Amino acid sequence: MYPAITFVCNLTSPFHSSMHMYSNVYTSSPYILGSTLRGAILRHLIDRYCKALDELQKDNPGFHSKSKCQRDCPIRELFFEPTRFSFGWFDGDSPENIQLLGRISLDRETNSVAERALLSIEARYDDSFRFDVMISEERFISYIEEGAKLAGEWGIGRFKGVGWGRFKIQRVSYNPPSVSTPDKPTPNELILRFRTPYVLEEGAHPPLGKEIVQSHIDEALGEAGLVKIREIKGFKIPSISYVRRWSYEKNQRENRLVAESRTELIVVFEQAPTIEQLQLLSWGIGEWGNCGFGSFVADPPNSSSPESHSSLILGINFT
């Protein structure tokens, strides 16, 4: 298993990331998108260390994989596997940490309130959250810490331009690479309980076929080995929705159809995956899996639904 860093942070200003937008009411998501954390942290590192910003803007994404990016660039490898970012998980959904705020938009031509411009927004206050970052080598810890600190000073999420989404890092812990040896072998049949939205293929409709899920697993594992699916026994999706995120690399907003969290996928493998392979897969499969989408907890058959997990370092529920 690759090394990982866990950050525990505390909000110092209101935070909002839209879950649903009902006319003039914006509800806040119960987590921070991994793409939000990845974009904020790497963007600050680009501004500080990249020596070819103009060329990067002309040829992005993929700039760092080409000769235009200098080979001695200290942050080059952070844009490729196995670097992965998890979602940010709040410590709880206590009502006192969530408040409803009102915002008024002004019409610049008339200097008066714009039509239907009274907006009600859910915002989080004084809440703690944690997130994980997988890295390839220990030497990248200082860079990720630096980027996270800068992201906290500038803010993340929606309305960061008016000072929202700022945070301070309370604690950082390093999880060195390790090999686990569970008391019981990994079963061939597993229930994958998704705790973050699972991005569906463009034009795809659930239930997903074995070939699509297999391609997602192959991509997530990379050089970590091959795990073949024998059968998809079940696919339970509580709801379908869209995720909208801003891509700093493409400099545009992207929309994707997703199976919402609490989706369950029952998979039978040809040969039981190792504990290390499952740990790697649990960070996220499917599109945007490198920033926490498609993250799951693996359970043996006939197990009850687990409680929510705050860390991805161990995302497996059997020993």
Q: Residue 30 sits in a domain of what CATH number?
A: 3.30.70
Q: What is the pLDDT of residues 96-123, one digit of tens each?
A: 778 887 776 665 666 555 555 677 888 8
Residue-level pLDDT at 108: 61
Mean pLDDT of the chain: 83
42: which 2 tokens?
A: 């790497």
Alpha helices by DSSP H, listed for the chain, are 34-49, 53-58, 141-154, 210-221, 275-282
Q: Per-residue pLDDT averaged across 46-61, rounded? A: 74
pTM: 0.85
> Which residues form the domain of 235?
189-299
| In a domain? residue 315 | no
My answer on whether 75 and 160 are in the same domain is yes
Number of structural domains the chain divides into: 2
| In a domain? residue 319 | no
Boundary of a domain, candidates 116, 141, 175: 175
Q: Are 51 and 73 in contact (CB under 8 A)?
A: yes
Residue 300 pLDDT > 70: yes
| In a domain? residue 259 | yes
- The residue among 62, 288, 295 whose CA lies nearest residue 193 is 295
* Neighbour count for residue 14 (Cβ, 10 Å): 23
Residue 311 pLDDT > 70: no
Residue 42 pLDDT > 50: yes
My answer on whether 19 and 152 are in the same domain is yes
CATH assignment at residue 231: 2.60.40.4350
Boundary of a domain, candidates 129, 149, 175: 175
Q: What is the pLDDT of residues 162-208, one digit of tens each?
A: 899 999 999 999 988 765 555 566 788 999 999 999 998 776 666 67
| In a domain? residue 307 | no
Residue 94 pLDDT > 60: yes
| In a domain? residue 141 | yes
Q: Are 27 and 203 in contact (CB under 8 A)?
A: no
